[in-house]
Amino acid sequence: MLIRPEQPSDDAAIRAVHASAFPTEVEAQLVDALRAAGRLVVSLVADDGGRVVAHVAFSPVTLSAAPEATDGIGLAPVGVLPDLQRSGIGGQVVRAGLAACAEAGFAYVVVLGDPEYYHRFGFHRASEHGLGNEYDAGPEFMVLALRDGGMPAAGSVVRYAPEFSIVSS
């Protein structure tokens, strides 16, 4: 299994991964919208012999307390073809994505997802750090500092890229 950055020729395969991994095509549409807007900062695929079997996307987030700050990134979505789910491939692309985000200089990552799943990567409830989010998500909203001092300031509200409005509508 090779984890690598997405290539333009992967677009249809990435769309198929998300369309099959989720109940609707919203996540596939989100990835397409983020890509079109130039906001897929880190976008990795799991390539199994030339077949894209998983994908993870990271896009910039902003803080209400410092909207000009560019050191935060959001993980969403991550998808794995249904016949390979629960095989560890999702974890591999997430770990590789987190490493790529750290290497790119991002200070922290946020995610809205299953706490039990994301705790294994070092995520903690964002509310424990005084962070909120524009969707009023509770314990499912989590944060991970990628470096010392990387945690955003308490009292901030994290805002995702405008393309995420298709998910919440």
Please tell me the distance from the alpha carbon of residue 11 to that of residue 18, in angstroms, as a whole number.
11
Check whether 127 has a pLDDT greater than 70: yes
CA distances from 7 to 14, 32, 43 (A): 10, 13, 9
Average pLDDT over residues 132-142: 91
More confident residue, 70 or 95: 95
% of the chain beyond a pLDDT of 70: 99
Check whether 80 has a pLDDT greater than 70: yes
Check whether 157 has a pLDDT greater than 60: yes
Q: Could you tell me the residue range of the domain that residue 121 belongs to? A: 2-168
Check whether 168 has a pLDDT greater than 80: no
Check whether 169 has a pLDDT greater than 70: no
Total number of domains in the chain: 1
Contact (Cβ atoms closer than 8 angstroms) between residue 145 and residue 107: yes
The amino acid occupying position 28 is A
What confidence score (pLDDT) does residue 78 get? Answer: 98
Average pLDDT over residues 101-124: 96
Q: Indicate which CATH number applies to the domain containing 8.
A: 3.40.630.30
Question: How do residues 19-53 score in pLDDT, each as one tens digit?
Answer: 999 999 999 999 999 999 999 999 999 999 999 99
More confident residue, 102 or 169: 102
Instruction: Round the average pLDDT of the chain to a whole number and report it.
Output: 94
Neighbouring-strand partners of residue 3: 46
DSSP string, the chain: -EEEE--GGGHHHHHHHHHHHSSSSHHHHHHHHHHHTT--SEEEEEEETTEEEEEEEEEEEEETTBTT---EEEEEEEEE-GGGTTSSHHHHHHHHHHHHHHHTT--EEEEES-HHHHGGGT-EEGGGGT-EETT---TTEEEEESSTT-SPPTT-EEE--GGGHHHH-
Question: How do residues 55-77 score in pLDDT, each as one tens digit?
Answer: 999 999 999 877 777 799 999 99
Check whether 120 has a pLDDT greater than 90: yes
pTM comes to: 0.95
| Burial degree of 152 (CB within 10 A; 0-12, 13-18, 19+) | buried
